Amino acid sequence: MEVGIQGVLGSFHDQAASIYFVEENEICLKPFHDFRSLAKAVSSKELDYGVMAIENTIAGSILPNYALMNEYDLEISGEVYIRIQMNFIAHPGTKVEELTHVYSHPMALLQCADYLSKYPNLKLTESDDTADSVRMVKEEGMMHAGAIASKKAADIFGMQMLDEDIETNKKNYTRFLILKSRMNGHEGVPYKASLRIVTKHDPGALANVLTAFKDHNINLTKIQSMPIIGEPYRYAFNIDVIWEDYAEYEQAMKEVAKSSESIKVHGEYEKGTIPTQ
């Protein structure tokens, strides 16, 4: 089974894939530099699945990834949540006080701002990927530099964790979607759906959509507006819903259709569980 991830091995996408596909015997992870290349590879069936971050409890939604799912007509087959634990990583035997530079993704640097403020000797430098920052420090022999990344990245590249769990907010979770082309079928029992709804341009259309879900005991876990390309000041709504009774969900969708110009079901799938600390 080939599974695409954004970033190099040791990234948080790698970690998410390892958790979701833990029961699979043989997984070949294929790294991609950017999300568009990953989405394109899943759409063209070069991969069996792709793993894509969609939201973080601190940074919020990753809006370009919603657009990519719609553009490449990808389907969600599952989701996985992981707690983001940041670690200060460098060459074995070094100390934080001896370092002059630290590399990582800009969001990782921001999430560790309180820790990094204790070391004014460090120059913060942004990079494209947390794990790739560790690889660069290792392979380029940067003895006076460190990186912020996962424990898995430190293990893969044979580096030392100088400090663990250095993120400011310990309740930092990222939700990752498991994507496939629409030719791969369904797995598991669906209790959650991700939808893209364009409502009619009528007063109360969105309210009617939300009422339909309410009347059938369908719980909204997320709603996110997205501009419709080529139609200024018109918006689609990306909505996540969960249910106990699939028949109620089906009935709600029939009523939602009455107030909608278009509905795209990005996926019906088994809902993930947020890990405990």
The pair of structure tokens assigned to 10 is 């040791």
What is the predicted pLDDT for the residue at 38?
A: 97
Give me the mean pLDDT over the 150-171 stretch. 95
Do the Cβ atoms of 74 and 121 come closer than 8 Å?
no
**Could you tell me which CATH number the domain at 2-83+172-180 has?**
3.40.190.10
Query: Where does the pLDDT of residue 269 fall: very low under 50, low under 70, confident under 90, or very high at 90 and above?
Result: very high
Average pLDDT value for residue range 92-108: 94
Write the class of the CATH domain 87-163.
alpha beta
**Short-list 33, 38, 34, 36, CA closest to 2:** 38
168-224: pLDDT as tens digits = 999 999 999 999 976 555 456 789 999 999 999 999 999 999 999 999 999 999 999
The per-residue pLDDT for range 39-64, each reduced to its tens digit, is 999 999 999 999 999 999 888 899 99
Which fold is adopted by the domain 192-268? Alpha-Beta Plaits (3.30.70)
The answer for residues whose C-beta is within 8 angstroms of residue 246's C-beta and 6 or more apart is 190
Are 151 and 85 contacting, i.e. CB atoms less than 8 angstroms apart? Answer: yes
pTM of the predicted model as reported, rounded to 2 decimal places: 0.89
Provide φ and ψ at 275, rounded to 5°.
Answer: -70, 150
* CATH code 3.40.190.10 region(s) in the chain: 2-83+172-180, 87-163
